[in-house]
Amino acid sequence: MAKKKRKVPSLNASSMADVSFLLLTFFLLVSSMDTDSGLARRLPPPPQNEDQLETVKVQERNLLVVLVNSSNETMVKSQVSTEWYQTDAELHGRGNKPSLKDKVKEFVLNTNNNPLLPELMEEDFGAPIGTVPVTADHVVSLQNDATTSYKTYIAVQNELVRAYNELRQEGARKYFGSDYDNLTTDQQEQVNKLYPQRISEAEPKNFGGGN
């Protein structure tokens, strides 16, 4: 029996590299690596019926009103003091005024148990925080005019978030001895519970008129 030696034909794969390079460039071009970032918020659920709008009663001392008017000026008002900010720089604490961030922190902490600042209540947060007094019922109410510009609104929102972030950072330092970012998810949750973001965004009112 004659054995014929079969030759396996080899595929010419030299152009494979070219083809895959083409595909690669295509995907390189169409891909968008940019991820969206923003300030996260949770809206309240819609009112069950139209008449029971905003029936939640909040004690005066527990309320910090932050108002942005139609000429993009910010007013922050608690029972203790009222402050006006005309510009962005003043909002950040330049120009001999305490910054909005510091006002919010002072309000949320109420270190000296001022009767005009939110009520301190003892609450248990679990080890290692233990039972500490916190202003559990404080509300930061952010109100704006219909013609307020979005830019200012976001700037103010950003300052509010920054105040809470700094509080959480300080809490993490104090109770866990490390940065907030280095904590485990559970620990972060604990700190978040200690300083919950209680920002209420009311429906805007048209104070200033205009378009």
Partner 1 sequence: MPELNTASMPDLVFAILFFFMVTTTMRSETLMVRLKLPQASEVQKLEKKSLVTYINLGPAMDIKYGTGTQMQLNDKFAQVEDIQDYIAQEKASMNESDQQLMTVSIKADEDTRMRYISDVKQALRKAYALKISYSARKAEN
Interface with partner 1 (CB under 8 A)? 13, 16-17, 20-21, 23-24, 27-28, 30-33, 35-46, 68, 92, 144-151, 153-155, 157-158, 161-162, 165, 201, 203-204, 211
- Of 129 and 199, nearer to partner 1 (C-beta) is 199
Q: Considering beta carbons, is residue 61 or 180 the nearer one to partner 1?
A: 180
How close are the terminal C-alpha atoms of the chain, in Å?
Answer: 100
Helix (H) or strand (E) holding 199: strand 199-201
Smallest distance, Å, CB 34 to partner 1? 10
What is the C-alpha to C-alpha distance for residues 68 and 75, in angstroms, rounded to an integer? 6
C-beta of 5: minimal distance to partner 1 in Å?
25
Q: Is 110 left (phi over 0), alpha (psi -120 to 50) or beta?
A: left
Closest CA to 91 of 155, 35, 46, 142: 155
Nearest distance in Å: CB 59, partner 1: 25
Measured from the CB atom, is 110 or 157 closer to partner 1? 157
| DSSP letter (8 states) at residue 112 | T
Burial of 28 (0-12, 13-18, 19+ CB in 10 A): exposed
Nearer Cβ to partner 1, position 80 or 161?
161
Min dist CB 11 to partner 1, Å, is 12
